[in-house]
Structure 1
Amino acid sequence: MEPVDLFYSYAHEDEKLRDELDGHLALLRRKGVIRPWHDRSIVAGQKWDEAIDAQLSTADLILLLVSMDFLNSDYIWGKELASAVARAERGDASVVPVLLRAVDIEGAPFAHLQGLPTDLRPVTSWPNRDEAWTDVAKGIRRAVEAIQQRWVSAAPAAAAAPRSSDFGATSASVAASAAEDDSWALEAAAPEGTGDAAARKHEEPDSLVRRMMAGFTNELAVAARIRGAPAMDGAEAEDTALTLIDMPEQKRLLWVDDKPEGNAHEIAALAKLQVEVVTADSTEEALTRLDADTEGFDLVLSDWSRPEALEGQPSAALRLLRALASRPRRPPLIVYHGEFDDARRTTRRDMLLRAGALGEAVAPGELLALVKTALQAR
């Protein structure tokens, strides 16, 4: 299916935040799902207002990156915002406000539109920015899926004519877009001798994906230092990152630990790769989330012990495993603990495997290797 054309409407004061979001949308771009554009794509000699108008008038999805600077921009308010809202009202474009910084949007022409992040919590107010962007990227992914579903539903009527976006750009903007897309495009088939397209894609990550991988590796290294554990081998870290990046669907993890701050860098590493992590601090909360959540979880991570009733089990992790065994939707479970003594760790491992756990880990590298294995099997 053709990529969804995405337009960034933003104030230049927020360019750094736009770049961060663009990085977190790199996975959608890498999969050929979206084709983003912003005014920094304008090439020398091109009339900037005409280029913006052409892209804005044909984009399938328009992101409004909202901040005080965004609201104070006369050009955005008079040109981009007016056009975006008009297209949203006509139903020929999806418009999604993304609240970057805290600002009062009551009375704004886009205030009635569903925005991001969840509950319109400004991106810059999140303790971990990567988790905020993961939440935003998830919402954008859903918007893209809705657009593509509309295309499928309208396919018979649309088959006779190309999409309007095929005609909207000037020749210069088309050339600029093509030049930019060349560095990102996914080939329909790999060249001879290189295997399938997925394998080629895995071998040649683009610059933004490499930046994501570097952030992932750095977070794991910090986590290893904190735990006094060996760092994950560089090649293995890169392979793990690429495997998670190239999975067809976004993955969701439920992490059960009464002290989630102790896993902050491991969670941040997963967020770098757009893996969503939901936390619970007790077995009871975890079971409630598992039963009530409509999206489902691909994997559960648990610590070994928590201050709660064990119901005859040696640890909270084993109690959780027993509870999961009776549920129809039973994601695999990995235990992340701090028992480094070889003999005692072996005892724990044997107990966990007999109870049905996928495995256990004490080092961040071990944990991510198990996470990769578990998610590959889903």
Structure 2
Amino acid sequence: METGKFAETAVGFTKSPLGIIGLFIVLVYGFASLVVGFGSGLSGQVAPLIYFMVFFPVLVFFGFLWLVAKHHNKLYGPSDFRNEDNYIKAQMATAASLAAASAKQPGNSAGVTDMQLRDIVDVVSNVPRQKKHEKWRNRILWVDDRPENNALERQAFESQGIEFSLALSTNEALELLKTNKFAAIISDMGRKEGPQEGYVLLEKLRAMGDKTPFMIYAASNLPEHKKMARERGAIGSTNRADELFQTVMGVVTNGS
């Protein structure tokens, strides 16, 4: 292993008590191995070191068992809890954005109901943690000639680490797709270009051989419109923010 990489790894170990213990064990065992390997002139003094190398891992094993059984809550560093805290904050921010987005939708003049809130919490709590992978898998193309109408929905995704590229028209979206790759595409239906421009974009993409998962986010949530969207090659169609989030995040996290 290169010296630089070893130093970088060692620094990572120092962030928690368990890592420090592991680093100490590696160093002790390494020094003992060096002494045995290059200590040919030590003659009788090598034997104790050999016994040490044989029994040291056993002692470490039982010591580790004792730590896990008696002091498991002390084996984590502050950074471990900070990451968990950030994760919880991200989930709360996502739920808040989805609730606000649901409240502004037509038919919700009285606000979000208790059932809707429970649905939102269930959706957010079931989203897996983001994994580190290619950057494009965390990027979504959103096509809408009025992007300000979807600011809250985008905030929900962004709380999960998703980035967006925005396009105001079909042509603009196609230009972006020439030089960029996206995990998914979200599109409205009617735009200045036409009342079914969402399908126009979808058909052009499929004709080009582009299989990027495509989601319709429009005013209708009728079953026949959902069926039509799937028949045309979309992964779904909805006017609900929580359903949009659940469907698209399912594609992004699964990497399909």
TM-score of the superposed pair, with normalisation by structure 1: 0.44
RMSD: 3.2
Task: Verify: 1:369 aligned to 2:246, yes or no.
Answer: yes
Q: Partner of 1:210 in structure 2? A: 88
Question: Radius of gyration: which is bigger?
Answer: 2
Q: Partner of 1:182 in structure 2? A: 77
Shift of 1:212: 1.1
Q: Partner of 1:358 in structure 2? A: 235
Q: Given that residues 139 and 183 in structure 2 are in contact (C-alpha distance below 8 angstroms), is that contact kept between their aligned partners in structure 1? A: yes
Aligned pair in 2 of structure 1 residues 366, 174: CA closer, same or farther (>3 Å)? closer
Equivalent position amino acid for 1:182 in 2 = G
Q: Given that residues 212 and 272 in structure 1 are in contact (C-alpha distance below 8 angstroms), is that contact kept between their aligned partners in structure 2? A: yes
Q: Deviations over 1:319-352 (max 9, x none)?
A: 0111111224431100011125xxxx22322221
Shift of 1:265: 0.6
Question: What is the 5 A alignment of 1:14-25?
Answer: none
Task: Verify: 1:247 aligned to 2:131, yes or no.
Answer: yes
Q: Deviations over 1:92-115 (max 9, x none)?
A: xxxxxxxxxxxxxxxxxxxxxxxx
Q: Deviations over 1:44-87 (max 9, x none)?
A: xxxxxxxxxxxxxxxxxxxxxxxxxxxxxxxxxxxxxxxxxxxx
Residue number among 173, 179, 194 corresponding to 1:286 in the alignment: 173
Q: Given that residues 189 and 198 in structure 2 are in contact (C-alpha distance below 8 angstroms), is that contact kept between their aligned partners in structure 1? A: yes
Shift of 1:354: 1.4
Equivalent position amino acid for 1:277 in 2 = F
Shift of 1:353: 1.4
> How far apart in 2 are the matches of 1:336 and 1:184?
38
Question: What is the 5 A alignment of 1:252-331?
Answer: 252-293=139-180, 296-308=181-193, 310=194, 315-331=196-212
> How far apart in 1 are the matches of 2:94 and 2:230?
28
> How far apart in 1 are the matches of 2:99 and 2:3?
51
> How far apart in 1 are the matches of 2:139 and 2:242?
19
Q: Given that residues 183 and 206 in structure 1 are in contact (C-alpha distance below 8 angstroms), is that contact kept between their aligned partners in structure 2? A: no
Equivalent position amino acid for 2:187 in 1 = S
Give the length in aligned residue pairs.
Answer: 188
Q: Given that residues 16 and 75 in structure 2 are in contact (C-alpha distance below 8 angstroms), is that contact kept between their aligned partners in structure 1? A: no
Shift of 1:246: 2.9
Shift of 1:162: 3.9
Shift of 1:277: 1.1
Q: Partner of 1:222 in structure 2? A: 100
Q: Provide the identity percentage.
A: 22
Secondary structure at the residue paired with 1:331? coil
Q: Partner of 2:43 in structure 1? A: none
Shift of 1:288: 0.5
Identify the structure with the greater helix proportion: 2
Q: Partner of 1:332 in structure 2? A: 213
Q: Partner of 1:163 in structure 2? A: 7
Secondary structure at the residue paired with 2:152? helix
Q: Given that residues 95 and 120 in structure 2 are in contact (C-alpha distance below 8 angstroms), is that contact kept between their aligned partners in structure 1? A: no
Structure 1, unaligned runs of 5 or more: 1-154, 187-204
Shift of 1:183: 4.4
Q: Given that residues 16 and 76 in structure 2 are in contact (C-alpha distance below 8 angstroms), is that contact kept between their aligned partners in structure 1? A: no
Equivalent position amino acid for 2:207 in 1 = S
> How far apart in 2 are the matches of 1:372 and 1:292?
23
TM-score of the superposed pair, with normalisation by structure 2: 0.64
> How far apart in 2 are the matches of 1:220 and 1:264?
11
